[in-house]
Each structure stands twice: as C-alpha cells, then as structure tokens.
C-alpha cells in the first residue's frame, strides 16, 4: 500500500475554532484514575475482515479459511452530551 501526502495551506482552509462539546459529567477529558477497571475481550475474526482492519495476515499454505484471534485489554469511561457519546481510555490489542 502506498500513501501519498499532499501539503495543505492552512490559511486557505479558513478554519474556525469550535467550542468544546457540553458533556454530562465530563467537563474535560477524565484522568486515568477515573477510568474503569481493566477489561479483557477476545475477538475471532475472519482473515479477510482482519486484513481490512489493518491486521497483517500471512498465508503460506494456500488455505482460504483462516481465522485471527485478537485479545484486547482496555480501560475506559464514556461521556455523553449533545446527542453523542465520547469514549476516553486506553487499549492494548494483540
């Protein structure tokens, strides 16, 4: 996959600052101490879907029925406001 970068002229974009969203219970991003306990999730993905999500899959056997097991450990908290949900946290996947 080849990635091409195109320079942008920020002044030509005429960006306007936006006000921060009003979030119930989260006037600013939460601290690490307010995140939930560590949680473990396992995902069993078809190799084709895993490739679309960016996981590298190698195949030397020629088999088309491969699966990928992804294990995730995460901590997060959810803030809601203005009809949207914002999740703050950290995750490790392998």
Domain residue spans of the chain: 22-56+66-93
* Of 14-28, 41-55, 60-74, highest mean pLDDT: 41-55
- Averaged pLDDT, 32-55: 82
Give residue 59's pLDDT band: very low, low, confident or very high (50, 70, 90).
Answer: low
CB 89, CB 30: distance < 8 Å = no
Give residue 3's pLDDT band: very low, low, confident or very high (50, 70, 90).
Answer: low
Residues whose CB falls within 8 Å of the CB of residue 29, separated by 6 or more in sequence, listed in order? 88
CB 76, CB 88: distance < 8 Å = yes
* Of 3-7, 32-36, 48-52, 71-75, highest mean pLDDT: 71-75
Q: 11 or 45: whose pLDDT is higher?
A: 45
């Amino acid at each position: 996959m080849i990635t091409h970068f195109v320079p942008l002229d920020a002044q030509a974009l005429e960006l306007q600052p936006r006000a921060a969203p009003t979030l119930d219970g989260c006037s600013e991003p939460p601290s690490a101490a307010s995140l939930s306990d560590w949680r473990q999730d396992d995902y069993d993905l078809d190799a084709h879907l895993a490739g679309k999500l960016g996981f590298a899959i190698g195949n030397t056997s020629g088999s088309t029925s491969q699966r990928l097991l992804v294990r995730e450990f995460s901590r997060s908290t959810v803030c809601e406001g203005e009809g949207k949900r914002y999740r703050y946290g950290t995750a490790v996947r392998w």
